Amino acid sequence: MDDKKCCDAYWIKQLAQSSQAQHEAEQRAWMEKHSQNDRDVSEWMDHLFENMISFSDQFDQMTSDISQQIEWETPAFHHVDCNDILQESDRPPGDKVYAGHLTFSDWSMMMRGYSHEIQIFIIPSNMLLQLSVGSFDSRTYPPLVRIKFHPDSTEKAHLKYHEGSESLDKEINSHALPELAKAFFSALVDKKRQN
């Protein structure tokens, strides 16, 4: 009987190790396949943020009211783990999220990038932490803009914007990023002024 338990334990150990090795190989293959897209998404977001940070600095110089000034955090990669899988997302644990934000005292713009998509949210500043750690319910404040890349190429993307009765659905390329940065920055300032 002890021999059978030992054989079973060895068999289970081999099965577990084989499964783990296969899982790790699949994750490595997935990361290699998506690493170029991650770089492209991060480049687009970095370009958007460079413009918006420049606008923020100029905006702050033109206002003496500290409550009207903008704080920002440049985008950085964060790993999704089992404890903070985004509620509205089918992103698996181990996926990378590239996220950064611009913040007034009461309203914030959060930008998140995945392998094939950038999402832009304008949310109350007190919800920023919830969004960044993944406990945010995007049905309350859905993404204002989604930029979806083609799975095989990030030279071009599909932009979808929807707020109230306004909407836009069009193909864009990286040359549109400075104008998009202006539009996103203006949307955040307008949201601040409405309240």
- Give the tens place of pLDDT for each residue, 133-168: 555 556 777 889 999 987 666 678 889 988 777 888
CB 82 within 8 A of CB 93: yes
40-49, 87-96, 135-144, 184-193: segment of lowest average pLDDT: 87-96
pTM of the model: 0.72
Distance of alpha carbon 97 from alpha carbon 195, whole angstroms? 30
Tell which residue, 155, 188, 146, 195, has the closest CA to residue 53. 188
* Structure-block tokens of residue 131: 């969004």
CB 69 within 8 A of CB 154: no
DSSP annotation of 40: H
Dihedral, CA atoms, 117, 122, 125, 129, nearest 10 degrees? -20
- Give the tens place of pLDDT for each residue, 38-58: 667 889 999 999 999 999 999
* Structure-block tokens of residue 62: 């033109």
